[in-house]
Chain A
Amino acid sequence: MSTTEKTADSGIGPVEGAGALSYSVDNPAPVIDPPRKRTKKTPKSTRGNFEMAAWLFMRLSGIVLVVLVIGHLLIQLVLDGGVSKIGFAFVAGRWASPFWQTWDLLMLWLAMLHGANGLRTVINDYAERPNTRLWLKGLLYTATVFTVLLGTLVIFTFDPNIR
């Protein structure tokens, strides 16, 4: 039995470049802490029921979106001539009815919030530094609010007689 790649255990670390780092019993190397370690002070922050509401919303909106999105794709891409029928007139005709206005509005809001909430959890899970999280979430919320408001505006103020 013999060992391979045995490092010298004389207390002399690898000499790398000009820095010549050497570690000893009195001067140990720093250990690498995992990101955002739990400490005694951790169990303070609580946000009421927001996380539960977000979790429930993901499930419920997901169920509704299955119906809305598959219905949307069927109408737009499969039934009655498929994608070739889509034009200004087709969209204008559908948005003349309050039913399709509601459908599209609901789909817009649910899909945007569903996606934004999903990305929020991804950022929470993977962005380690507080500043990165802040900026990524800021960008995400801005984009979400902008898209939702713009879409809502278009659905409600759509003018079929526009030149």
Chain B
Amino acid sequence: MATPTLDKVEDAKPAEAPSPYIMVTFRIRRFNPEVSAEASWEDFPVEIDPKERVLDALHKIKWDVDGTLTFRRSCAHGICGSDAMRINGRNRLACKTLIKDINPEKPITVEPIKGLTVLKDLVVDMEPFFQAYRDVMPFLITKDTNEPTRERLQTAEDRERFDDTTKCILCAACTSSCPVFWNDGQYFGPAAIVNAHRFIFDSRDEAGEQRLEILNDKDGVWRCRTTFNCTDACPRGIEVTKAIQEVKRALITRRY
């Protein structure tokens, strides 16, 4: 009462900008075969700007909290395709997912991608994935003119034909979102078919017939159930299911 002006002084101060940092809980699926055969969830509360990415939060945890957290990342800018993981039940790239976009009020779950052997924490064995990729021969094949004596020219329209499937970064988000692949790893998977599509519809390539024959296999395109999980999962926005359907159509029109 003696100093009635004191309260007013505080009010008169310019309003401070609110801190952008919020507490977000990251619920991460941990697995370390050197400690336990069981995988388990572990919660990490992190103070972070919601405009940052999930990858930044994982870095914060690994660098400041628990150095044993293991995950892959290389370029950290959505091009190398190393950090595909299952975030809040959907396959995404950790480096392209902003925390504000995936409801930071609830714990954010981070798991390894499904359908591949988990080696440690978020790291999976990608070998079966790349084996399927190699099996579709993802390189230019020409029959007569193998000598690289001149440019292989192509019209803009011919280039446009397979433009969508050239965007693939082999992150395995599509293949590991496919329910057929989860149950049967023999299926080529969307990513391998996308990369076959990229050459089958390339006017410069001459081994389209061979690739179609490979994908006509019992574990090829006919196992696709068009659930569109792959199209939803693709961080590059490739219309994966459409590409698979185009390969099916090419197979049918080739015969009949």
Do A and B belong to a common assembly?
A: yes
Do B36 and A29 touch across chains, with their CB atoms under 8 A apart?
Answer: yes
Residue of B nearest to A126 (CB): B183
Measured in the bound complex, the distance between the Cα atoms of B126 and A38 in whole Å is: 11
B64 at the interface (CB under 8 A from A): yes
Chain A: CB-nearest residue to B45 = A1
Q: How far is the CA of A127 from the CA of B166 in the complex (A)?
A: 34
- Contact partner of A3 (CB less than 8 A), chosen from B42, B47, B218, B220, is B42
What is the interface residue range for chain A against chain B?
A: 35 or more
Nearest neighbor of B251 in chain A, beta-carbon distance: A52
Total count of chain B residues near the partner, CB < 8 A = 51
- Tell me whether B35 is interfacial, beta carbon within 8 Å: yes
* A55 part of interface (Cβ distance < 8 Å): yes
Is the CB–CB distance between B180 and A1 below 8 Å? no
Q: Which of B128-168 contact A (CB under 8 A)?
A: 128, 131-132, 135
Given contacts A38-B186, A51-B218, A52-B251, contact A5 B34 (CB under 8 A): no
Q: Does B9 sit within 8 A of A, measured CB to CB?
A: no
| A46/B218 contact (C-beta < 8 A), A28-B33, A38-B185 known | yes
Asked if B184 is an interface residue, CB under 8 A from chain A, the answer is: yes
A43→B251 CA distance, assembly (Å): 18
- Tell which of A32, A36, A42, A128 touches B131, judged by Cβ atoms closer than 8 Å: A42
A84 interfacial by beta-carbon distance below 8 Å: no
Q: Which 8 A-B pairs have the closest CB atoms?
A: A29-B37, A28-B33, A29-B33, A51-B222, A38-B128, A37-B185, A13-B36, A43-B135
Known: A39-B128, A51-B218, A125-B180. 7 other contacts (CB 8 A): A4-B42, A7-B30, A7-B36, A14-B36, A31-B118, A47-B218, A49-B255
